[in-house]
Chains A and B, each alone.
Chain A
Amino acid sequence: MGFEVLLKGSNMSRLLVGLAVALRISMISVAISIVLGVILGSLMTLKNPVIKVVSKIYLEFIRIMPQMVLLFLVFFGTTKALGINMSADTASIIVFSLWGTAEMSDLVRGALSGIPKIQYESSFSLGMTTAQTYIHVIIPQIIRRMLPLSINLVTRMIKTTSLVMMIGIVEVLKVGQQIIEANRKSSPNAAFGVYATIFILYFLVCWPISILSKYLEKKWES
């Protein structure tokens, strides 16, 4: 079946290192996206016309553009056009953060605008200050509304990192290809075993996150 190729030499550990590369890119991007997404999403609720137009263009641009095109644009485009020598790692973190920030900001905006003004007033009417209202009343509700969807976004970002091999990053999928290539003669069936293993690795990473999302969704359902 081709699984035996992974037992040869350091093949399995190379695959795991590849997975770590993919996870590192996605986790850094997720962290940046959360911070920037919360800031942008909050700004978007201010109803400032300039912010509104700029954020709308940004969101639409990111949504329409396939991630791979964006990746090529940033990695090859900027290097040539702007003369910036950017590592593939940096390029992919930029692209994934651009994407994650767009999606995250929309989630934050949705969650914030979903809380009616009178809910703030209800807290104010009890004598609570603006800070107390945000800390104890508004933010906990926003987190509850957002978390299941943001977790979903995290799994999508992890899965999409498989694209970064297109700009030369040796992540799990690329390592898999290398293993298959190197063992083409000795194990012609390696493709199945290697890709199946990669499938299982992705599954092992994303499944618990997905379960957590479902659990939270159920717990906070109201």
Chain B
Amino acid sequence: MDEILSIKNLTKTFDDFVVLDHINMDVKKGEVVVIVGPSGCGKSTFLRCINAFEKIDDGSVLLSGESINPSKGKQNKTREKVGMVFQSYELFPHKTVLQNMILAPMKVKKVKKKDAEKEALVLLERVGLLSKKDSYPHQLSGGQKQRVAIVRALMMNPEVLLLDEITAALDPEMVREVLDVVINLAKEGRTMVIVTHEMLFAKAVADRMIFIDGGRIVEEGDPVSFFENPQTERLKKFLNSFTY
């Protein structure tokens, strides 16, 4: 398997505070990497660096062998290949579900409207939202919005999909419908980097688990040994905080 994403010595500081401290990580095609860690540990910043939303202070992020450099003004070319779904959905409120999905393919990839719509409808069908194609975001529940956000990102056919705590703002009963979509994507062989607090979901979807604390990768491994046999005290303590 070839590596899609190759991150070397990634370092990011805000003023004097080191958010990410020499992070190394490779992601292979079709791999699902789940990142967990206490809040404020730098997980979200890490995802934002992959998508060129943050200026990297040191190290490199390579996407299919090409460097991501936010200072070069070519970030949009990178972002075409990297999909991102946010905690707060961030659908475009003035556009319908269908319009939300076809906007970027039409404007960025110059796909014909008819073709974009056809693809959008197939995706909506798959996440059970075909009947909502003409609804506006404010008419949808949180879970529905998030499913639309996921398929909107898929419309660009990204090489990597970044999911940033996509269930954190959802009511508990809606978490499942969103995570089911992600699990199906994993089965289809989508490459994903996921930040989440849902440990059971992480266990189910991950090919590899990564624990970040204090801006460093403290522990990583396959999900079974990660959850059942953590090696470091910090990870043990972190995992314990999820059990009562």
Interfacial residues, chain A to chain B (CB-CB below 8 A):
116, 118-119, 121-129, 132, 136-137, 140-141, 144, 220, 222
Top 10 nearest A-B pairs (CB, nearest first) are A127-B80, A122-B90, A126-B104, A125-B84, A222-B138, A127-B108, A127-B79, A129-B76, A140-B94, A132-B107
A136 to B103, CA, bound (A): 8
| Set of chain A residues within 8 Å of B6, measured between Cβ atoms | none
Q: How far is the CB of B164 from chain A (nearest CB, A)?
A: 10
Given contacts A118-B90, A140-B94, contact A126 B153 (CB under 8 A): yes
Contact (Cβ within 8 A) A125 B94: no
A124 to B107, CA, bound (A): 12
CB<8 Å pairs between A and B, sample of 21: A121-B53, A122-B84, A122-B90, A122-B92, A124-B53, A124-B79, A125-B53, A125-B82, A125-B83, A125-B84, A126-B80, A126-B153, A127-B76, A127-B104, A127-B108, A128-B76, A129-B76, A132-B107, A136-B103, A137-B103, A220-B94
A62 to B93, CA, bound (A): 34
Q: How far is the CB of B153 from chain A (nearest CB, A)?
A: 7
Which residue of A has the minimal Cβ distance to B109? Answer: A127
| Set of chain B residues within 8 Å of A125, measured between Cβ atoms | 51, 53, 79, 82-84, 86, 153
Contact (Cβ within 8 A) A126 B79: yes
A137 to B51, CA, bound (A): 19
| B77 interface residue (CB < 8 Å to A) | yes
| B88 interface residue (CB < 8 Å to A) | yes
Which of A121, A122, A126 has most B Cβ within 10 Å? Answer: A126
Q: How far is the CB of A136 from chain B (nearest CB, A)?
A: 6
| Set of chain A residues within 8 Å of B90, measured between Cβ atoms | 118-119, 121-122
A124 to B90, CA, bound (A): 11
* Given contact pairs A127-B79, A136-B103, a sample of 6 additional A-B residue pairs in the complex whose CB atoms are under 8 Å apart: A118-B86, A125-B153, A126-B83, A126-B153, A127-B81, A220-B94
| Set of chain A residues within 8 Å of B76, measured between Cβ atoms | 124, 127-129
Contact (Cβ within 8 A) B108 A132: yes
A116 to B80, CA, bound (A): 22
Contact (Cβ within 8 A) A126 B152: yes
Which secondary structure dominates chain A's binding surface?
A: helix
Given contacts A121-B90, A137-B92, A222-B136, contact A127 B84 (CB under 8 A): no
A194 to B128, CA, bound (A): 65
Contact (Cβ within 8 A) B77 A141: no
| B156 interface residue (CB < 8 Å to A) | yes
B104's contact among A119, A128, A144, by CB below 8 Å, is which? A128
| Set of chain A residues within 8 Å of B81, measured between Cβ atoms | 127
A56 to B227, CA, bound (A): 56
A124 to B80, CA, bound (A): 9
| B75 interface residue (CB < 8 Å to A) | yes
Q: How far is the CB of A5 from chain B (nearest CB, A)?
A: 51
Contact (Cβ within 8 A) B93 A141: yes
Contact (Cβ within 8 A) A122 B86: yes
A222 to B92, CA, bound (A): 12
Given contacts A118-B86, A128-B104, contact A144 B53 (CB under 8 A): no
Contact (Cβ within 8 A) B75 A124: yes
| Set of chain B residues within 8 Å of A129, measured between Cβ atoms | 76
| Set of chain A residues within 8 Å of B53, measured between Cβ atoms | 121, 124-125
| Set of chain B residues within 8 Å of A140, measured between Cβ atoms | 94
| Set of chain A residues within 8 Å of B91, measured between Cβ atoms | 122
Which residue of A has the minimal Cβ distance to B138? Answer: A222
A154 to B109, CA, bound (A): 41
Which of A122, A136, A137, A222 has most B Cβ within 10 Å? Answer: A122
